[in-house]
Chains A and B, each alone.
Chain A
């Protein structure tokens, strides 16, 4: 995804005007075939290749079912309410965990970004904590929370999402252009006004990116929690199909998980570029 710029929406890019003569890439310049047709054809080719490899016995069809068999299982499966309930449970835990990480991450990030002392105290530790994979906490969280209900997946989402959001907010606040701040002060803005009018708008692209990163990682972890430990989510349904010895259903549900993840990512990217249309870094990177 071209629009999936991890974090580079930094202030320095934003201040640079677009070079004249280079047309911004935009959706409008593409035909339907370029935007949808050709990518769809690629997807079909991949599915076709899978079908061929399994039907000809290059891959063991009994354990890796052909695409058409998975497709049939998929269509049968999505007509059942248990799949939607499980998806609902996964997305609910995800939303709760994400809300928690926003409530904690943004204020903490603002604080760490605005205070030089706090930044220097905490930044190295944050860099350390960030490299510990959240999944490592799963055994501990299972002991603490058990596997029933929403708690475990929500806690995993929280753990995955809170760091990107916090750290991104922190760097966003720190990257506010000092000249703009000086100008603001010269215009007689108080600390609160400076915060609302300069710091927040300037850090906003960072925060938005942190939210998107956190949301995507959080969803992966929310699914992984029920996949590894159990509970009510879509991950458990994958395990259940697997325990039942029905591989086509296992892969149908994995495909469903992938599609949901894809949908969430695309939605978040779309929201982000909508919200940041005024921001130059976006204008250049939106596909």
Chain B
């Protein structure tokens, strides 16, 4: 594994050339006593636990100076974790599995959030689609393809007797999905909070619990690390996890803290946040739901092979 990274680093130095030597000096310059750790997230409420824990001072207590960095896509977070620009990052369960299958050395260390109704497959309230069976032959917009959301709704469509091959799935960037549904671009769409509150009575859920086939409130997103980095720095990982899980517990019990946290990194108005269904937080790793989700995705051919709990989760 070390060889690989050496090769990568060489490749990097080569590609960057003279111009970026300057920049490379930037990030590692703090001589603080606390360990500086970068945690990569996307700006959604589901990633609030880290912010909540940081605001409560849990990371400081654990001797960690936490920097929370912004990304747009989970797959890019994997790239950052691999490149070492992030030490920790939050990714969806499908992205984590894909990365492991393709041989990227990442490990899951914590639960980012579990589904609690913050993502739904919705249709226009005054439209023709009333039940799952009506989805036959329709055009569905999703925020990601070949992922757990799609696996969950396909499995429920099959149960309702809809042949998924009659349905067209189109990838649309998640924030544009409500507008796409409202303007008739698609017949049904994955709508995530704050889109559900934002739509008001315009939309009704046609599949209210997309992840139901994977168990009760299955875990959607996990915190990952790079395996070799975690091996070299088990102490930092443990201290990070202590703080992070304390934050997750606090987030689970204190909605006000979550709202404050989300307001610090997003532009969602307070009124919307108060009405929003928040994702579920907690320190439980939920390995059962991981296995069920992977199985569901594998059964539909979204994954080349199954991923075992042993290869996916970090054990010190």
Contact = CB atoms under 8 A, between A and B. Distances in A.
Interface of A: 60, 62-63, 96-97, 99-101, 103-104, 142-151, 154-155, 158, 227-232, 236, 239-247, 249
Contacts of B178: 63, 245
Main secondary structure of the interface of A (DSSP, over half): helix
Interface string B1-39: 000000000011001111110111011000000000010
B309 interface: no
Q: Which of B22, B77, B198, B267 has the most CB of A within 10 A?
A: B267
A244 B262 CA distance: 10
Interface in B170-202: 173-176, 178-179, 182-183, 194-195, 198
A249 B26 contact: no
B183 A63 contact: yes
Contact of B72 (A103, A144, A229): A229
B85 A150 contact: no
Q: Give the interface residue-count category, chain B.
A: 35 or more
A243 B43 contact: yes
Nearest to B24: A151
Nearest to B18: A103
Given A229-B76, A242-B176, A100 B18 contact: yes
Contacts, number: 133
Given A149-B23, A151-B20, A155-B16, A249 B79 contact: no
A100 B20 contact: yes
Contacts of B169: none
10 contacts: A63-B178, A103-B18, A144-B11, A145-B12, A146-B83, A147-B79, A147-B85, A240-B266, A243-B42, A244-B267
Interface in B56-107: 69-73, 76-77, 79-80, 82-86
Contacts of A236: 70, 72
B272 interface: yes
Contacts of B72: 147, 227-230, 236, 239
Given A103-B19, A142-B79, A149-B23, 6 more contacts: A147-B72, A150-B23, A229-B71, A243-B44, A246-B269, A249-B267
B279 interface: no
Contact of A239 (B43, B69, B84, B179): B43
Contacts of A103: 18-19
Q: Which of A63, A147, A239 has the most CB of B within 10 A?
A: A147
